[in-house]
Every structure is written in C-alpha cells, then in structure tokens.
Amino acid sequence: MEGEGEQDGCPCGAVAADQFDRLPDAVLMDVFNRIGNVKALGRCALVSRRFHALVPLVDSVFVRVDCVIPDDLPQPPGSAGSQQQQAAVPPARGHGALAQLARLVLGGIARPIQALVQILSPAAAAVSRRSAPQPASPPAPASDVSHHSPSEVLRPFKELRRLHIELPTGELGIDDGVLLKWKADFGSTLGSCVILGALSVSSKPPSPSTSPETAADSSANSADSNREPEESGSLPESLFTNGGLKLRVVWTISSLIAASARHYLLQSIIADHAMLGSLNLTDSDGQGVLTMDKRQLQELRVRPISASASSHRTLMPALSMRLYYAPHVELPGGTLLKGATLVAIRPSEDSLREGGGAGAAGPAGTCWISDAFEEPYRTAAKVLLKRRAYCLEMNSF
C-alpha cells in the first residue's frame, strides 16, 4: 500500500481528502441535516472553509440545552435580572382559599420560570459570559451551548425550517411516583393543551396468557367498573378526598403557566428565523411538550402575543376545560395509574365557535386529545375519554 501511495506521488490521506472534496454541496447538506445536533454542526463548521460556509444553510437543527445557567449571579439593584426576579413571584390578590392556592401555584413554579428565563434569554446568557472566565480564543458560534442561549446559538443558521429544543428538565417539580405530562400548541396565544396526571404509577408483570388486545379491553372494562354514579352530574366523591380536586387544579394551572412561559421566551428565536415552519420545545424528563406549526408561527409573526403583566409568560385567554377522571386505569403491560386524570383545554372563544366544547365534532374532534402522548399513555387518554366529561371554565390569567 505504501509503495502504491509513493508511486502516485501523494499520500493516501491527500487522495482521500481530494475524493471527499468531490462530493457536491447537496450531498453534504443532506449529511448535515441528518446530523442536526447543533454541537456537532458547530464542530463540522471548524473543519474547513467549505464546511463553515455550508453549515449555516442547514434547515433542521436539534439543540440540547446542557444545563441551567445559574440564576444566583450578583446583580445590582434595578438591573434587568433583578427586575426579572422581582417579577417572577406576583403578589397574590384576594383572600381565602383561592389566594392561598395562587400562592401555592405561583410560588411553587417561580424558580422554574426563572430557570427557563436563564436558559432561553440572550440577556441572561450575556450576564453569564461576563461573569465567567473568558477563553483566550472564542469558540465557533455553534460549538458550545453551556454559556449561550439557544437564541444566540441559532442566529448563524439562515435557512432554518425545523427546530427542536430540549431542556435539561421539566419546569414542574413533582413528588416521586406522581405522573404529570402535558402537551400544548400555540399560535399568538394558546391553541390547545392536554394534561395527563396520576397520583401514582405502578407496574406489575403481565399475565403470560393475556394478549395486548385483551389487556386493553380489560383496561377499559376496569375503568367502566369503577365508574361512580353520574346521574347528578357532579364530580365524583373520590376526587374530593385528601385534597384531590385542589391538587388537580394545581396541576392544571402549573402546566399552563409552564407552557406559556416557554412560549413567551421563544419570541426572539421565531423573529430571527422567518423561514421556520416547525418548532418543538421538549424536556429530557418527558414532562412537557410545546409545539408550533407553520401556520401558528406565521400567526405569531403577524399578531404579537399578549404578555402577562406579572411574569415572563404569555397571557392565557379565557379557557374551556373538560376533565376526565378514573380511580384507576390499568394499561397493557401491567402499568396501573391510580387517580388518573385527563384535562383537555381550549380557548373558550374557540369552543363557542365550534359549538361543543373541548371534545367537539365527535371522534375526529378528540384526536388532538388522544394523540397528545406516546404509548402507554396514549392508551390511558383513550380509556379516560370514554368516561364522563366534567366541564370547567377558567378566566384569563
């Protein structure tokens, strides 16, 4: 092999490099789009001038946020960061149980919202860089996300069409064993939100003689057998034991605030990328998913959001909610959800226009509810949708 290389008059490495350079730009762009990860793309941009010119043309990017930028950096009074911290916990107005519930909900997620601001806000990233030791030679724009906000990291990409951002954790701290998942879609305001919760999730080995189809039927029959009397149209008595209803209200409000905080902080990214047609913001815990499609992104560009006066989040419109509850739901594979609750939420204006509330238009109208989660929780949503729906209303907040 060495003799052949010397006979050709060039090292084998040079031959390989020349052959690689013959690849057309379209092939390289397909490779870069398949890579997707913003860190890997940043490293690719350092390989050569050609790669450096092509990487910003990638149209599909995945950003995994490594860590939360510390929010305990020294900040002078009156600074933007200080004002953010003061605004994060709005004073609760009113008296009695409702005010206590507001303090419980808003106080419990104030720190997570601050953390989300630190993750996604370019201003917070700038504060972090000023307080951290500066390297002798700065890295490439997309080579590191630990001390840069996603907004800054994504700025070099000029033709971005599909974007997926993953946060290190969900915003809502929940007790061990408790299930809480949500999925929300937004335009300039909330389009819909689905929340699935359970007091506990347990597993037991499935029976060898039980097929998945039989298990699913058994789950539905189990839920039906636990159905409480519904003639009065009131909420089941078991929902009121041990503060069950209050807890589910906390789950609902907390999930909505977490979703609206994510939406609010995506504005700069959406404004910087006019060609963006799909955006997903998830977390590594699998707790919450925020989605925006091409139509919703364009709606946000044309119609600015209404911001909450009390914190860094989008103002929630008046909402129409349908709550589905079962004391327990058994899923295929032996997963058992205790105190399972499904909440389907739409703006009241949309529900009135469609004439039927959150679950209007029959089975086709509930697809956005049942398809909000992956298995086995999709099956849980379908089981809960067979139960009675309890309608609730919530004012704008």
Side chain identity, residue 354? E
pLDDT at 283: 93
Cβ neighbours of residue 327 closer than 8 Å, sequence gap 6 or more: 226, 228, 236, 238, 338, 339, 340
Residue 289 has pLDDT above 70, yes or no: yes
- Peptide bond before 304: cis, by omega within 30 degrees of 0? no
Residue 298 has pLDDT above 90, yes or no: yes
Strand-pair partners of 390: 323
User: What is the band of 207 on the pLDDT scale with cuts at 50, 70, 90?
Assistant: low
pLDDT at 187: 94
Other Cβ atoms within 10 Å of 150 Cβ, number: 27
Tell me how far apart the alpha carbons of residues 78 and 237 are, in angstroms, rounded to a whole number.
50
3-state secondary structure of 333: coil
pLDDT at 238: 64
3-state secondary structure of 293: strand
Residue 392 has pLDDT above 80, yes or no: yes
Residue 296 has pLDDT above 60, yes or no: yes
CA distances from 395 to 9, 102, 317, 352, 392 (A): 78, 14, 7, 15, 10
What percentage of the chain carries pLDDT values higher than 90?
37
Residue 203 has pLDDT above 80, yes or no: no
From 166-170, 225-229, 287-291, 297-301, the region with the lowest mean pLDDT: 225-229
pLDDT tens-digit series, residues 94-112 = 334 434 444 444 455 555 5
User: CA 264 from chain center: how many Å?
Assistant: 13
Tell me how far apart the alpha carbons of residues 222 and 264 are, in angstroms, rounded to a whole number.
41
Tell me how far apart the alpha carbons of residues 188 and 266 are, in angstroms, rounded to a whole number.
11
- Enter the tokens of residue 317: 């419109």
pLDDT at 169: 85
Task: Please provide residue 354's backbone torsions phi and psi, each rounded to the nearest 5 degrees.
Answer: -85, -15
pLDDT at 241: 62
Residue 113 contacts residue 261 (beta carbons within 8 Å): yes
Tell me how far apart the alpha carbons of residues 215 and 325 are, in angstroms, rounded to a whole number.
20
pLDDT tens-digit series, residues 106-145 = 455 555 566 666 667 665 555 444 444 443 333 344 444 4
pLDDT at 141: 44
Tell me how far apart the alpha carbons of residues 269 and 275 are, in angstroms, rounded to a whole number.
11
Tell me how far apart the alpha carbons of residues 284 and 378 are, in angstroms, rounded to a whole number.
19
pLDDT at 334: 83
pLDDT at 61: 95
The stretch 63-84 carries a mean pLDDT of 52
pLDDT at 191: 94
Tell me how far apart the alpha carbons of residues 106 and 91 are, in angstroms, rounded to a whole number.
9
User: What is the band of 295 on the pLDDT scale with cuts at 50, 70, 90?
Assistant: very high
The stretch 295-315 carries a mean pLDDT of 88
- Enter the tokens of residue 322: 């349908």
User: CA 57 from chain center: how many Å?
Assistant: 26
Query: Quick one: 24 exposed, middle or buried, by C-beta within 10 A (0-12, 13-18, 19+)?
Result: exposed
Cβ neighbours of residue 152 closer than 8 Å, sequence gap 6 or more: 122, 125, 141
pLDDT at 181: 95
pLDDT at 226: 44
pLDDT tens-digit series, residues 230-273 = 434 566 666 666 667 888 899 999 999 999 999 998 998 999 99
User: CA 234 from chain center: how many Å?
Assistant: 33
Residue 1 has pLDDT above 70, yes or no: no
Q: pTM (2 decimals)?
A: 0.73
pLDDT at 94: 37
Tell me how far apart the alpha carbons of residues 392 and 324 are, in angstroms, rounded to a whole number.
11
pLDDT at 152: 85
Q: For tokens 């601050």, name the residue.
A: 114
From 2-11, 29-38, 142-151, 381-390, the region with the lowest mean pLDDT: 2-11
Question: For the chain, what is the mean pLDDT?
Answer: 74
pLDDT at 151: 85
The stretch 277-286 carries a mean pLDDT of 94
> Could you say which DSSP state residue 314 is in?
B
Tell me how far apart the alpha carbons of residues 44 and 244 are, in angstroms, rounded to a whole number.
52
The DSSP code sequence of 40-51 is HHHHHHTT-HHH
User: What is the band of 65 on the pLDDT scale with cuts at 50, 70, 90?
Assistant: confident
pLDDT at 119: 63
Residue 16 has pLDDT above 60, yes or no: no
DSSP β-ladder status, 288-293 and 179-186 = parallel
CA distances from 314 to 89, 141, 262 (A): 15, 29, 9
Residue 386 contacts residue 363 (beta carbons within 8 Å): no
Strand-pair partners of 260: none
Query: Quick one: 292 exposed, middle or buried, by C-beta within 10 A (0-12, 13-18, 19+)?
Result: buried
Tell me how far apart the alpha carbons of residues 36 and 161 are, in angstroms, rounded to a whole number.
12
Higher pLDDT: 14 or 231? It is 14
pLDDT at 127: 46
Residue 317 has pLDDT above 60, yes or no: yes
Query: Quick one: 295 exposed, middle or buried, by C-beta within 10 A (0-12, 13-18, 19+)?
Result: exposed
